[in-house]
Structure 1
Amino acid sequence: MNKEEYPISDDELMKLSIYNITYRERILHTKVPTKELKMYKRYMHYIDKFIDKHDVQVVCLFNGYHWIDQVTKVIAHRRGLDVIYFEDGLFRPYTITCDPEGINEMSSIPRSASFYDAIELDEKRLKKHLFTPESDHLHEKNESLLVVAFVKLLSMIGSGLHIHPNYYVHITFWQGLKYFFKKRTFSRQTEDEVELPEEYVFLPFQVSRDTQILYHSPHIKDMRDLLDHTFNAVKAINVAEGKNLHIVVKEHPEDMSRVNYDDLKERYKNEEEVLFVEKFDIHTLIEKAEAVVTINSTVGIEALAKTKRVVTLGDAFYNIEGVVHHARTPGELPETLNKSLHTKVNRGRIRKFIYYLRFHYQIEGSLQSKHKRTADKIAAHMLAMENREEHGYEIHSSYSS
């Protein structure tokens, strides 16, 4: 690659939602090296020329927060090109997210309660295919851990040789090795032998340094914060209501090799209201809970699929009246959680919301396996989005499966 740079200032680059930059500043508390910014500009120059040479009309990004996604989006917007975001689906492993606005909180998913009230619900379809495919060509296929590890290793070598910016600024080689072995052994680990409390709030930890936390959690900076605020809320409810409500905390499997919560467990070891689990059936934890408290995780969607009470503390696309109870600040959590426990679940609206997500918004298919029918559905969905300004959100209903 030559050393020509795309015309963009360092300040403009620093203002982008590039995960590497955000992670360095907020977590590592270090400055972004000038040479890294120069490398971004060199890649932007190459991408710009590539788009020009091949007359690219649509740019597709996966997730959207990696450095290459963010810099490519700048070029696409300057050129007036359409940008489409992909991500693993909300009902994994049989669905795909494909959205012209972004993923998660940035998505085009309607936020109006009346929109969902007007949806026609096919109860039989919802019950049969919420988590199972309608297409007979789809079969569950997990990512090969060895392939993923090999690709990440190559990327680390490439960044070490200054061939490209670092994709994995948030993890060292040794941390990656530890993660690999933890991932290999976790599936063989036996479930925790614990007796669940009679009444509890389920608190699923999220990946602590995920984009969902860095970009869409304005008040909760990490999982320690999340537990502290939830504990204070539960304590306040127990005192005011004379209840014996507990909290069941489940660590996120992706974080077990990277984040040590021993200090947190030590701090709460004498608090009988708090129970930590590492490996336990999440469906059981959701079903038996009085409510699920989350920042903005996909566990919230799993809970809604079971029409459970959900309380959110962060920016989430499912912060919809009658679907979840949203605490705008941690200070509102005691009142919001208590209100949710005393409010009848709006099963009708929740089920219509879930139905819309599964059969209208998502594309049925898998990014883990190649198949022409999946490619055809994605192509049809993308073609429909060309008429987005004319049809608005209705485009999703035409290409549900």
Structure 2
Amino acid sequence: MKARARSEVVMTNYLFLRGNRNKHFFIDAAEELIKRGHQCHQIKFELGELLFNSAIKTTFAPFHVSKKQYSITDEDLLDLPIYNITYKKKILKKTVAKKELTMYKRYMYYIDHYIQENKIDVVCLFNGYHWIDQVTKVIADKRGLTTVYFEDGLFRPYTITCDAKGINANASVPQNLEFYDSLSVNKKRLKDYLFKPENKALLKRTKEDLVRIAFVKGLSMFGSFLHIAPKLYVHITFWQAVKYFTFKKTFKYRKSNELNLEEEYIFLPFQVSRDTQIFYNSPHIQTMEQLLETVLAAVKHLNETENRNIRIIVKEHPEDMARNNYKQLKKAYQNSKDVVFIQKYNIHTLIEKALAVITVNSTVGIEALSKHKKVITLGNAFYNINGIVTHCKHPEKLGETLVSALKEKINKKRIDQFLYYLRFEYQIEGTINSPSRVTAKNVADRLETLS
């Protein structure tokens, strides 16, 4: 949708759903919008959300859902990119129960009624792949409403993604080179603020309170267990959540891996193996095991072709370590000199000294571009733009792609133009996991241009 100027802003009814683990993020943005004369609503679904008070008109959906169902077929629901459904099919190898689909329809009926009754104009979602997000998107589309997606920013922790088209590969980021080639770049601004905030007030952000986050999450899981609230997540049990929380609290005390970076290597950052990026934006690579196998075959081809001894350095994703230790994978390569696994090491150093970075579609690719490194992608990504990265559409041809990519000259000017647009035009400056009035004002500014 075309953005409008601030001077053309009209009063709007916003509906906020769920949000990320910082429950204040949507609350703060909504309260800022209310100050400007807009109306804001929030539908809560988790028991833990009831701990957070705000000036927003709020309702707790589980107390209002009836047996009435929204008119939609089971087949249409199953066709939606709903994370819970995908996870059950791909990971748990289970079919989705009729009871679960019925629950979706009941909540859809209530959400649809709420939207109509409160004359909602804009629906704000976080990420967009949760079942609540997906079913609400169906309703919003049918009613001709604007849907706005939020996600963690590309230049963390000081930027936020906000897009009316979608996130990741569905983002509204321009794909034509002519757009970027026409942009002027303030080199000093790019250098000074690519990963730092221009507004110094954001530097005073508070650290995430993991204990509080864990308590809220635990309370929500308890609410689902008692059937007070719907079951929102299938990918994590209570004990897995405890394990994850413990890992997050102790990981910072671990020592970094010892590593020799003098020899040539390709940097291969693993992604969260069960993430939406892999489920929905990776048509060929579905597991990290498959990713390593594909890249190793390509590197062996390169070594044989050019008589080199290039290694692969694999860095596990910190969000995945508590759930997936890759024990069998590491065992398979324990005697290999071609593959090195690490869990903790300075990622900036790993990128800087690498010949290239190969990824499915991780934001590590953006970090690599910021250092003018060669990036090869194997999945769908918004930054799959010719002349900025090398996109390998067919993994079986990665060997040939790698050989040619390493010989190509990097277009630093074009990369800087691309990064400049992302950072200072596309992204919102703010901290998504730390409450901030600056963030709230910036988010409200953006929402007013999209409404």
TM-score category (smaller protein)? over 0.9
Instruction: Note the alpha carbon deviations across 1:99-147, whole angstroms, 9 max, x for none.
Output: 0100000000011112111110110000010111001221243322112
Residue 109 of structure 2 is matched in structure 1 by: 45
| 2: CA distance, partners of 1:327 / 1:238 | 19
Q: Distance in 2 between matches of 1:310 and 1:201?
A: 10
Q: Which has the higher contact order (CA 8 A, sep 6+)?
A: 2
Cα distance, 1:28 vs structure 2: 0.6
Name the residue aligned to 1:182: 247
Structure 1 contact 200–248 (Cα < 8 Å) conserved:
yes
Q: Which runs of 5+ in 1 are unaligned?
A: 387-401
Structure 2 unpaired stretches of 5+? 1-64
TM-score norm. by structure 2 comes to 0.84
Partner of 2:193: 129
Q: SS at the partner of 1:138?
A: helix
Paired residue for 2:288?
223
Counting only pairs closer than 5 Å after superposition, residues 191-206 of structure 1 correspond to structure 2 as 191-206=256-271
Q: Does 1:267 align with 2:340?
A: no
**Corresponding residue of 1:73:** 137
Whether contact under 8 Å (1:141, 1:369) holds in the other structure is yes
Q: Displacement of 1:167 after TM fit?
A: 2.4
State whether residues 39 and 164 of structure 1, in contact with CA within 8 Å, keep that contact through their aligned partners in structure 2: no
Give 1:142-291 correspondences, 5 Å limit. 142-291=207-356
After TM superposition, give the deviation of residue 197 of structure 1 in Å: 4.5
> 2:450 aligns to what?
385
Conserved 8 A contact 1:40-1:165: no
Structure 2 residue matching 1:28: 3-state secondary structure? coil
Of 426, 429, 448, which aligns to 1:361?
Answer: 426
Amino acid at match of 1:260: N
Q: Is the 8 A contact 2:207 2:434 kept in 1?
A: no
**Which amino acid counterpart does residue 296 of structure 1 have in structure 2?**
N
- In the aligned structure 2, how far is the partner of 1:310 from the partner of 1:3? 51
Structure 1 residue 329 displacement after superposition: 1.3
Taking only aligned residues, the RMSD between alpha carbons, in angstroms, comes to 1.2
- Other structure's SS at 1:87 match: strand
What's the counterpart of residue 307 of structure 1?
372
Q: 1:63 aligns with which of 119, 124, 127?
A: 127
8 Å contact kept, 2:163–2:171: yes
Structure 2 residue aligned with 1:26? 90
Corresponding residue for residue 392 of structure 1: none
Find the aligned partners of 2:323 and 2:382 in 1 and give their Cα distance. 28
Q: How many residues align?
A: 386
Counterpart-to-counterpart distance in 2, 1:371 and 1:245: 46
What is the rounded CA distance, in whole Å, between the counterparts of 2:225 and 2:108 in structure 1?
A: 20
- Taking the aligned partners of 1:345 and 1:119, their CA distance within structure 2 comes to 18
TM-aligned CA distance change 1:284 to 1:200, over 3 Å: same
Report sequence identity in percent. Answer: 57
Most deviating of 365-374 and 7-16 = 365-374
- Give the direction of change, closer, same or farther, for the CA distance of 1:370–1:260 in structure 2 (3 Å limit): closer
Match of 1:2 in 2: 66
Deviates more, 1:366-375 or 1:169-178: 366-375
Distance 1:143 1:28, change over 3 A: same
TM-score (norm 1): 0.94
Q: Distance in 1 between matches of 2:446 and 2:429?
A: 11
Q: After TM superposition, what 4+ stretches of structure 1 lie above 4 angstroms from structure 2?
A: none
SS at match of 2:398: helix
Aligned AA for 2:360?
A: I
Higher deviation after alignment, 66-75 or 48-57: 48-57
Secondary structure of the equivalent of 1:168?
Answer: coil
